[in-house]
Amino acid sequence: MAAEKGILPPEQMDKPWKNGLVTFVAFLVFGCAPILSFIILIPFTQDDTIKFIGACVLSALALAFLGIAKAKIAGQNYALSAAITLLNGALAGAAAYAIGWTLRNVAGLEG
């Protein structure tokens, strides 16, 4: 009905601030995963490779939990939703890494 009539369901129409707040909180919680691993690993190691691997693992866990939460809310298959969310996150991360690597080489910066 939303696509045909161009209107939102009643529960979304009444409180758009609630949708915005939930989105903001989810962004804060799940978006902190990569930097959180660096903070946690500071007392244990100075090796940037280990910190990077930790950030990748914690990000993958956060994406999997996000997919499970999405599946619970939408009534979907948990494993499939987690896998799709993890794949989307991995592709986005790989694209961001490739763009950064390319721009670093174009600018002639040393890493």
Looking at residue 108, what is its pLDDT? 79
> What does the angle CA 11 – CA 28 – CA 103 come to, to the nearest 5 degrees?
120
Total domains present in the chain: 1
Higher-confidence residue of 88 and 73: namely 88
Q: Which domain holds residue 68?
A: 16-107
68 in a structural domain: yes
Average pLDDT, the chain: 85
6 in a structural domain: no
Measured CA to CA, the distance from residue 46 to residue 25 in angstroms comes to: 31
46 in a structural domain: yes
Measured CA to CA, the distance from residue 106 to residue 98 in angstroms comes to: 12
36 in a structural domain: yes
DSSP 54-102: HHHHHHHHHHHHHHHHHHHHHT--HHHHHHHHHHHHHHHHHHHHHHHHH
pLDDT digits (tens, 9 = 90+) for 21-43: 888 988 888 888 888 888 888 89
The model's pTM is 0.72
Does the pLDDT at position 73 exceed 90? no
96 in a structural domain: yes
50 in a structural domain: yes
11 in a structural domain: no
77 in a structural domain: yes
Does the pLDDT at position 12 exceed 60? no
